[in-house]
Amino acid sequence: MDDQEVLQDDVLFNSPSYAAAFVIGGHVNGLTEWRTIEGKTLKEVEAEPSSDS
């Protein structure tokens, strides 16, 4: 991170919760904290039927 707290390299997390905890700085459920612009949670997005079928 630079002095403005901007990551200088890509970081790969093992789960959405680890990624959310990194951003927030504490324990958090990534499935309910990550949201789309429309306000859907990651959990809701993952539950939607895939358009690939």
The pLDDT score that the predictor gives to residue 3 is: 67
- The whole model's pTM is what? 0.72
The CA distance from 4 to 2, in Å, is: 5
Mean pLDDT of 5-21: 91
Q: Is residue 39 part of a domain?
A: yes
In a domain, 53, yes or no: no
Residues 43, 44, 50, 51, CA torsion sign: negative
Split into its structural domains, the chain has a count of: 1
Q: What digits encode the pLDDT tens for the residues 16-26?
A: 999 999 989 99
Phi, psi of 27 (to 5 degrees): -70, 135
27 found inside a domain: yes
Give the chain's mean pLDDT: 89
6 within domain boundaries = yes
Q: Is residue 10 part of a domain?
A: yes
Range of the domain at 31: 1-48
